[in-house]
Amino acid sequence: MKPLEGITVLEFSTMITASFAAMMMAEQGAKVIKVEPMNVGDPMRYIGANKGGISSLFANCNRGKQSIRVNLKEREGQELIRELIPQVDIFIHNFRPGVMDKLNLGSEALRALNPRLIYAAISGFGKEGPLGGAPAYDPIIQAQAGLTAAQGKDEPSFFRTLICDKITAYTACQAVTCALYVRERSGIGQHIDLSMLDSGLFFIFPDGFQNHTLLDPDHEPGPLLIDLLYELTLTKDGAVTISAGNQDMQMRSLIAVGMEHLLADERFNSFEKMVANMEAFKAELAGAYLQFTTEEVLAKLKEADVPCARCLDRDEVLAQEQLTANDTVEVIDHPIMGQMRIVKSPARFGGERLAPSRPSPDHGEHTHEVLADFAIPQARIAAMTEQGIVA
């Protein structure tokens, strides 16, 4: 039995945040119903590599779900959703503040219909303030939450992944499951507000804002952890990354490449001094690593039990033996997209991987099936289909 079996989720979203959060819940056993607009559905369906009209990006963020098409511009479409609410546990969306209220699907209205409902509203910047109604995409949030400042040294630089979208999704999933736990004890659902800006800053703050944490004037600034660890060390034919995170590891790494004389240098003879003089330390070491090939460096450091790695390209990542040992990646058959590779949900429950859920749905693939499951009469479903309320 998967952890969230018996939980029903209604998801209203475009792009990543709510979609990815709901997908994680689907992987953990929840029944997730993705409510999409009538015409084109979630625009993520059409971005990037695709087959059969479904993109791999959409498939990666939406497996395990059922898709229904409902015309929320029509009052009857709104009323249809309201009829489903008494049987729903979680309602999640990522529309701008106020949009759902205009559609008669706001938090207060729906929780009046079902006091056990957990209503999660994801926005870019929050409900209030000068940016409360502003549109938000991952690069915008990276810029305003300080991720570009932390990533770049001399100038801002982006994480080349939808990191704020995805960390917001993880935060939403954690908050919703926390609310489920509270509901088990109290019997009452609740409203959850979550912004991408807050999620992004919360994520980057522990290490990225080390020197913006202590406010008393007598504190001593220090080098950022990210500046100590995140650099490549050049070799004769490439580069490696080395994470010698304490004095013992640094000592073993120096011995491994024949630079143990630095241990007697007054600038580096304690870990604190080494950290304080890190740039000079790296400069002293640079020539030593250039005497060896990448494989030679890796062999020496691994023999000394010093964490190190060569940066793998995407094909090498997927081919590494550790992923096979972890049972991380699987190939499944999608009824429309054919064979596709998926990464399984990371958490193991009872020592076992969760089995992959159903493949991502076609646009409106399950409309009639889902409405029938909610005891909507077939005659009414047919009439609403004819009227353009559902499809």
Tens of pLDDT, residue by residue over 238-290, are 999 999 878 898 899 999 999 999 888 899 888 788 888 888 888 888 899 99
Question: How confident is residue 378, by pLDDT bands cut at 50, 70 and 90?
Answer: very high
Q: Which residue has the tokens 């990542």?
A: 317
Token output for 226: 């990210």
Residue 269 is predicted with a pLDDT of: 85
HSE, CB side, 13 Å, CA atoms: give it for residue 25: 33
Residue 311 is predicted with a pLDDT of: 93
Q: H/E/C letters for each residue in the chain?
A: CCCCCCCEEEEECCCCHHHHHHHHHHHCCCEEEEEECCCCCCHHHHCCCEECCEEHHHHHHHCCEEEEEECCCCHHHHHHHHHHHHHCCEEEECCCCCHHHHCCCCHHHHHHHCCCCEEEEEECCCCCCCCCCCCCCHHHHHHHCCHHHHHCCCCCCCCCCCHHHHHHHHHHHHHHHHHHHHHHHHCCCCEEEEEHHHHHHHHHHHHHCHHHCCCCCCCCCCCCHHHHHCCCEECCCCEEEECCCCHHHHHHHHHHCCCHHHHHCCCCCCHHHHHHCHHHHHHHHHHHHCCCCHHHHHHHHHHCCCCEECCCCHHHHHHCHHHHHHCCEEEEEECCCEEEEEECCCCEECCEECCCCCCCCCCCCCHHHHHHHCCCCHHHHHHHHHHCCEC
pLDDT over threshold 80, residue 133: yes
- Mean pLDDT score, 312-340: 94
- Mean pLDDT score, 330-343: 94
Radius of gyration of the chain measured on its C-alpha atoms? 26
Token output for 106: 């706001």
Higher local confidence (pLDDT), 170 or 247: 170
CA distance 106 to 129: 20
Residue 154 is predicted with a pLDDT of: 84
pLDDT over threshold 80, residue 129: yes
Residue 317 is predicted with a pLDDT of: 95
Instruction: Write down the mean pLDDT value for the chain.
Output: 94
Question: Regarding beta strands 65-69 and 90-93, do their DSSP bridges make them parallel or antiparallel, or are they unpaired?
Answer: unpaired
CA distance 164 to 159: 9
Tell me how far CA of residue 262 lies from CA of 103, 141, 251, 265, 298, in angstroms. 68, 43, 9, 5, 21
Residue 139 is predicted with a pLDDT of: 96
Token output for 368: 């009639």
Tell me how far CA of residue 44 lies from CA of 53, 99, 147, 339, in angstroms. 11, 20, 24, 20
In the chain, pLDDT over 90 holds for what percent of residues? 83
pLDDT over threshold 80, residue 227: no
pLDDT over threshold 80, residue 223: no
The Cα angle at residue 188 between residues 86 and 123, in degrees rounded to 5: 80
Residue 156 is predicted with a pLDDT of: 95
Q: 241's torsion region: left (phi>0), alpha (psi -120 to 50) or beta?
A: beta
Residue 231 is predicted with a pLDDT of: 83
pLDDT over threshold 80, residue 228: no
Token output for 165: 């979208």
Question: How confident is residue 189, by pLDDT bands cut at 50, 70 and 90?
Answer: very high
Q: Which domains does the chain have, with CATH numbers?
A: 8-205+346-387 (3.40.50.10540), 233-310 (3.30.1540.10)
Nearest to 372 by CA among 26, 119, 68: 68
pLDDT over threshold 90, residue 170: yes
Cβ burial, residue 362 (10 Å; 0-12/13-18/19+): middle
Query: Is there a contact between 119 and 109 (Cβ–Cβ < 8 Å)?
Result: no
Residue 226 is predicted with a pLDDT of: 77
Nearest to 257 by CA among 273, 274, 236, 272: 236
Nearest to 7 by CA among 66, 79, 90, 81: 90
